[in-house]
Amino acid sequence: MSARGPVLDRFRLLAAVLVVCIHTGPLAGCNAAADFWLCRVFARIAVPFFLMVSGYFLEKDQWRGAERFLKKTLAIYAAAVLLYLPLNLYGGGYHLPEWGKRLFLDGTLYHLWYFPAVLLGVLIARSLSRLGRRAALTAAAGLYLLGLGGDSYYGLVSQFSGPRAFYDATFLLFQHTRNGLFYIPLFLLLGAAGMRWRGRRALAGFLLSLGAMTAEGFILRSLGWQRHDSMYLTLPLCMVFLFSLLLDRNQGTDRRARRLSMLVYLLHPWFIALAGAGQRLPWLAGPLEKNSLLRFAAVLAASLASAWVLDALRPLPVPSRSRAWREIDLSALRHNAQALQALLPERCALMAVLKADAYGHGAPSSARCLWRAGVRDFAVACLSEGIALRKAGVRGTILILGYTPPELVPQLRRWHLTQAVADEDHGHALADQGLPLRVHLALDTGMHRLGIPAEDIAALTRLYARRELRIEGVFSHLCVSDNPELERYTTGQLDRFSAAVDRLRRQGLDPGKLHIQSSYGLLNLPPQPCAYVRAGIVLYGVSSGGGLPRRWPELHPVLSLRARVACVRTLRPGDRAGYGLAFQAERETRLAVLTIGYADGLPRALSQQGGRVLLRGVSCPMAGRMCMDQLLVDVTGVPEVRAGDVATLIGRDGDQEIPAEEVAERCGTITNELLSRLGKRACSYRIVEKKPELLFGPDARILPRGRKMA
């Protein structure tokens, strides 16, 4: 194998063809021994290959994508169950207990066993992977050897009463030991290990081990030991060499081959059934004789053609980088969370604030990333934001900081959300719904926004008396913690909060988990005796603006904003451009049109307040008035700029950077507003994972104060 290319993806198609061979027996009518070798020995590499590819890519993501993989597999399985429901009903179906067993353990049709097996096998393999590679492979190999006794070696082990009783009990649960418990984990973990030998050594190893597996298969066949023939003692060794051989030449991806192989796997039993029905017709009985080579060819051709048509008809996604997009660096977000967690006192946790779609960074993906960084508590602004996170599979505490109408208490309970009590009337109205509800009491310590007056202990006591309110925390908000000149006011807020908590405790009332510090409260104030710090804007690697906090750890900006160059025009001296002809060329000028405007969330005034973009690593000034969907940029100094080039409006391009703080300052606002208003219409997300040293340089730091604008 000398050529390089996406061989892993393209080999999937060959593996799917081998599965069709297994289910049609193309050589059975010609030579039984040849058919046995093709379908019961050589073709047994197909499913382990699928598993090893899955394990390889899951390990590349350190198994972080396992939940996404499981959800996708479950969705495909659900669709396949519905697809083959007519065949199940035509064949008489199953009684209810048998249907449940097949649905969850064995698959509702002979080829669908793969899906419940993979669902279970991934869970086991992921758990074993935490033991370390050697221990995980040892444990998985032990399960595989145990499964061998119920598969190819059943005739041997069944001669002993103890093992026979064990396997007979197993077969009450599983139809075969080829399942997620015994079979799947080993091949997933072998793929995850990604062992490699050089091409010739891998090829020699594969041929020798395939020869050994061939000998093993025929010996077992002659002895009559095989209850089934999916598992051979030499199969794992054969697969390790084969996968190494393919991996050594793999380069790039072929997503169409992936999709076609899955469709062929899913669809071919329908065409086997149709071929069987065709045998009843006199003129087809001969050509479609069971197990004939022609029958195999017809089934394979129909499966491939159907897969090709379905793939061609699938909806085509719009690329995230087609027009304008936010580039979200999850490695920077994870780094920032860890840097902020290092500042927290003992027994204090980070509560990540994800309101306004995580300040424009994408709340679901940010929450999942933060969960992997050890964050278990989140805060949002409203009920819809909390529900969106739950629908995205986000676990942990989700606190709604804003007002929720009392009549929506059933929704709060349905989605296991925690509600902030805005004032005493709000608390009683929530309790009047008659349903138990987890709440945090908001105290007004001087901001005079939401909250029960901190000194009104009688009101707090009355809320504690409401049994429907499960008060799990008390919090407040510091309104000037970002301004050192008003430190005395902040100290007063802290004192009022502490006094209220002390009075509650003296009355025997448990305030639960306390939190009052947000981003600037963490960075400007000494540690407080609280359970949480609510980190908002600084979690995303930027400051709100103004002065530098007293403490500023090394944080990395998470978001970059980019757009495309649509076209480039040349203006003569005196020519005007844009709405109101606001731009006039003083010399021969090249103007680039960018595919982004104020409808995407950019402040309209930016283009006339010294706004700039980076193109090919060079700073270029905006020109004229910003349009709803486009803006003009003077690229006279960068003659290489062409249509399709990527422009950076926030973020880094080469050695140059435009920080979000600069853009906000030019427009007289703060980064909180700038980032959270970036529109979803066409400004889509593109998730990336960059090593910080590659993006920012090994010694890079964010220095919001004192940074001069170009």
Residues with catalytic roles: 355, 579
The type of residue at 438 is R
List phi, psi (to 5°) of 691.
-75, 130
The type of residue at 546 is G
Chain center to CA of 243: 26
Distance separating alpha carbons of residues 472 and 443, to the nearest angstrom: 14
Beta bridge partners of 651: 658
List phi, psi (to 5°) of 388.
-60, -40
Query: 587: Cβ–Cβ under 8 A, 6 or more apart, which residues?
Result: 573, 636
Distance separating alpha carbons of residues 299 and 21, to the nearest angstrom: 10
Determine which helix (DSSP H) or strand (DSSP E) holds 377, and give its type and residue range: strand 377-380
675, 360 contact by CB (below 8 A)? yes
> Tokens in use for 77?
């399985």
> Tokens in use for 351?
């509560």
Closest CA to 484 of 528, 522, 524, 538: 524
Distance separating alpha carbons of residues 53 and 38, to the nearest angstrom: 22
Residue 321 neighbours by CB distance under 10 Å: 14
Distance separating alpha carbons of residues 622 and 592, to the nearest angstrom: 9
Distance separating alpha carbons of residues 647 and 195, to the nearest angstrom: 41
| SS3 track for 530-599 | CCEEEECHHHHCCCCCCCCCCCCCCCCCCEEEEEEEEEEEEECCCCEECHHHCEECCCCEEEEEECCCHH
288, 275 contact by CB (below 8 A)? yes
Closest CA to 201 of 232, 241, 174: 241
Residue 160 neighbours by CB distance under 10 Å: 11
Q: At what angle do helices 114-129 and 133-148 cross, to 10 degrees?
A: 140
Query: 455: Cβ–Cβ under 8 A, 6 or more apart, which residues?
Result: 496, 499, 500
Distance separating alpha carbons of residues 456 and 500, to the nearest angstrom: 8
